[in-house]
Structure formats: C-alpha cells, structure tokens
Amino acid sequence: MDFIREINKLKKEKNAIILTHCYQNIEIDEVSNFVGDSLYLSKMAAKTDADIILFAGVYFMAQSAKLLSLNKKVLLPNMDSGCVMADMIDVENLKIFKAKHPNIPVVCYINSTAEVKACCDICCTSSNAIEVVKSLNVPKVLFVPDTYLGSYVQSKLKNVEIITFNGFCPTHLRIRVEDIIKARKEYPDAIILAHPECHQEVVKLADFTGSTKEIMEYAKKSSNKKFVIATEKGVVDRLNRDSKLEGWDKEFILINENIICPNMKKNNLENIYQTLLDEKNEITIDDKIAAKAINCIEKMLNLDIVNA
Ligand code: 13P
Ligand code: SF4
C-alpha cells in the first residue's frame, strides 16, 4: 500500500493534521503538517482548527497537545510510546519530594504526565527552562523530573537554588565525555552541539547547548561546515536531508550511533495510517486534572519570553 498517499487522503477527508517530533522516523515527515520540538508542536496544537490531531511523538507530547486543544480528538499511533524520563515521576513520589522541601514552587519539565503537571506550579521546556525559573524570582525552586536539565539551569543562574528530582533520560545519558574527546580528535574542525539532558560534563565540553530546535537553528545559521550532534539521531537525519535538499554543503555527524530513543521510533507510516483510519488510541484526560495541568502549561505560554 502507498501509505503516504493514503494518509494524505485520510487527512483531507477527516480534517486532520499530523504533528511530528524531530526524533521520529524521518519518513513520517512526508505526511506531517508540522515537524519540530515539543514546545513548537504544543503551540501548533493550540492554534490549529483541524478536528483531529495525530501526534507522532511520545505519550506526554500527545497529552500536552490534548490539554491545549481539549475540543479536538488527539490520537497517538502507539500507546506504549512513553517517555522513560516522564515515567520516572508520578503523583505519589512528587508528593514525597514536595513534602521533603515544603513551600517551594515546583517547575515541571514538559516531559511529564498531565497528572504530574497538575501538581506543579509552572511548566518549562528545554528551550525556555532558564527563563521560566528566572521569571519566578524566588530564592529556591524544585525542578522535576530531569536532574540534568535542572543542573544545567542551575549552572546558568546564580541567584536561585534549584533542588532537582532524580529523573533522567537514558538515551541522552549514553553520550559520554569520551565520545566528545573522540569527536574532537576525529573532527577537529567540527562544532559540537548538545542537548541539556546530557551529562553536565558533556554539556561543559560542547560548543553550544540547546533544545532540539535550537540545535537545528544554530546548525543552519552557522557558517561552519561540519557538526557533531549530541542528541537523538532524528535531528541528524533531518539536518543531513535539509543540507542536501537546500544545498548547504554541511555535514552532520551523530556523536555515537546508539543515540536513538526507542519509544520515539515506535511510530511508523503503517501505524499512523491505521490509527487515522480507525480514529483509535484517543488521548483522554480527567477534567479536574486537565484544568490544573492546563494552568501549569499556560503560565509558561503566557510568559513574555522569546521561547515561551
Ligand atoms: P525538545 O523539547 O527539545 O523537543 O526535547 C524533547 C525531548 O524529549 C528531548 O529528549
Ligand atoms: Fe524521553 Fe529521552 Fe526519549 Fe526524550 S529522548 S522522549 S527524554 S526518553
């Protein structure tokens, strides 16, 4: 079956759009309306007048899309595509963490479930975490679930103490200091770009740190010709494709061949087709939880900062 043709036909018939995270299998771009990072896709979900949003990403991303467009049907091709980091915290262990550090505002990385967001004060993404923490203007914050993103923010802000939960991304933690040292030797004229979910030592050795979208924008604008990328493979695949298509004459190298998020790769053209055809795997969220979680995300979106 020509899945690309059939999916595009279904999208028209059903007034549906497909939002695709840049860690997805690259062939999904052929049927996507928007491809980008989690913040950009949430904003597109909030803006669209489509009736159906199919989210090619992981569970928390589809949940965020649903929170920002409650009257729409949001579908996820594979309901088992969770984010390992998001699943490291639940309401119970969040309560314990808060009880250990009472009366401190909680900043919640968007890589978390709606239930967890509902118990936090404000949301952030990897592109605006520093600005979100700064905006609170308080001496202490709790940061969940990613201890590495929290530590990265701490390294940039001196006037606030950031107490982090002990979550992490197993995919980004596969990037080791030795990989950076090896890349420097092998590609001495390359710029190294890293995601803040990486080990702090890796981030310190990189030339630039940013969200997936920031990494892609930096690479596109730079006059350098060679880049080593310390984030998920999907970003490298897209940069190399765009370089070829748009004649940038640039080369993008994945820091180590194992930097693949297995859950992100659970979506493919076949399960996207089937999900859209049957309108199955719909995301639903309890009304009370949704109201509180929306508040957490909207506080971030309402901040007057460039990346909010
Ligand atoms: P972005 O917010 O940069 O899209 O990252 C999401 C993610 O899951 C990174 O591992
Ligand atoms: Fe979650 Fe890591 Fe996969 Fe991102 S790369 S979705 S943080 S497990």
Is a pLDDT exceeding 70 seen at residue 308?
no
What is the predicted pLDDT for the residue at 204?
97
Task: Tell me how far the alpha carbon of residue 110 lies from the centroid of ligand 1, in angstroms.
Answer: 9
For residue 58 and ligand 2, the question of a CB distance below 6 A is answered with yes
Inter-CA distances, 66 with 61, 71, 131, 181, Å: 9, 8, 25, 42
Inter-CA distances, 155 with 85, 152, 158, 204, 251, Å: 21, 5, 7, 10, 30
Instruction: Give the DSSP letter of residue 88.
Output: G
Share of the chain above pLDDT 90, in %: 93
How much is the average pLDDT of 8-18?
97
Give the ligand 1 atom nearest the CA of 231.
Answer: 10
Is a pLDDT exceeding 90 seen at residue 246?
yes
The answer to whether domain 3-84+264-289 and domain 175-254 are alike in fold is: yes
Strands 34-36 and 16-21, bridge-based pairing? parallel
Distance, in Å, from the CA atom of 224 to the CA atom of 164, rounded to the nearest integer, reads 36
Taking only the tens place, the pLDDT of each residue in 16-75 is: 999 999 999 999 999 999 999 887 898 898 889 999 999 999 999 999 999 999 999 999
Topology of 3-84+264-289 in CATH?
Rossmann fold (3.40.50)
Which ligand is nearest the CA of 37, by number? 1
Taking only the tens place, the pLDDT of each residue in 76-135 is: 999 999 999 999 999 999 999 999 999 999 999 999 999 999 999 999 999 899 999 999
Homologous superfamily in CATH for domain 175-254: NadA-like (3.40.50.10800)
Angle at 217 (CA atoms; ends 188, 112), nearest 5 degrees: 105
For residue 171 and ligand 2, the question of a CB distance below 6 A is answered with yes
Give the ligand 1 atom nearest the CA of 110.
Answer: 2
What is the predicted pLDDT for the residue at 306?
57
The amino acid present at 150, given as its one-letter code, is: G
- Residue 222 tokens read as 């730079």
How much is the average pLDDT of 304-308?
58
Taking only the tens place, the pLDDT of each residue in 148-197 is: 999 999 999 999 999 999 999 999 999 999 999 999 999 999 999 999 99
Nearest CA to ligand 2 atom 2: 169
The pTM (predicted TM-score) of the whole model is 0.95
How much is the average pLDDT of 260-267?
97
Task: Tell me how far the alpha carbon of residue 110 lies from the centroid of ligand 2, in angstroms.
Answer: 11
**Residue-averaged pLDDT of the chain:** 96
State which of 111, 112, 130, 132 you would mutate to test the pocket of ligand 1, scoring each by most atoms of that ligand within 8 A of its C-beta: 111
- Residue 281 tokens read as 């795997």
**CB-based contact 123:43 (threshold 8 Å):** no
What is the predicted pLDDT for the residue at 305?
65
State which of 19, 20, 21 you would mutate to test the pocket of ligand 1, scoring each by most atoms of that ligand within 8 A of its C-beta: 21
Task: Tell me how far the alpha carbon of residue 38 lies from the centroid of ligand 1, in angstroms.
Answer: 6
- Residue 287 tokens read as 């009304």
What is the predicted pLDDT for the residue at 119?
98
- Which residues have any ligand 1 atom within 6 Å of their CB? 37-39, 83, 111, 125-126, 169, 197, 211-212
What is the predicted pLDDT for the residue at 153?
98
Closest residue by Cα to residue 21 from 34, 33, 36, 40 = 36
What is the predicted pLDDT for the residue at 43?
85
What is the predicted pLDDT for the residue at 37?
86
Task: Tell me how far the alpha carbon of residue 212 lies from the centroid of ligand 1, in angstroms.
Answer: 6
Give the ligand 2 atom nearest the CA of 197.
Answer: 7
Which ligand is nearest the CA of 262, by number? 2
For residue 162 and ligand 2, the question of a CB distance below 6 A is answered with no
Distance, in Å, from the CA atom of 305 to the CA atom of 14, rounded to the nearest integer, reads 35
What is the predicted pLDDT for the residue at 307?
55
How much is the average pLDDT of 144-148?
98
How much is the average pLDDT of 257-263?
96
Element containing residue 108 per DSSP (H, E): strand 106-109
> Where are the chain's structural domains?
3-84+264-289, 175-254
Task: Tell me how far the alpha carbon of residue 1 lies from the centroid of ligand 1, in angstroms.
Answer: 32
The amino acid present at 22, given as its one-letter code, is: C
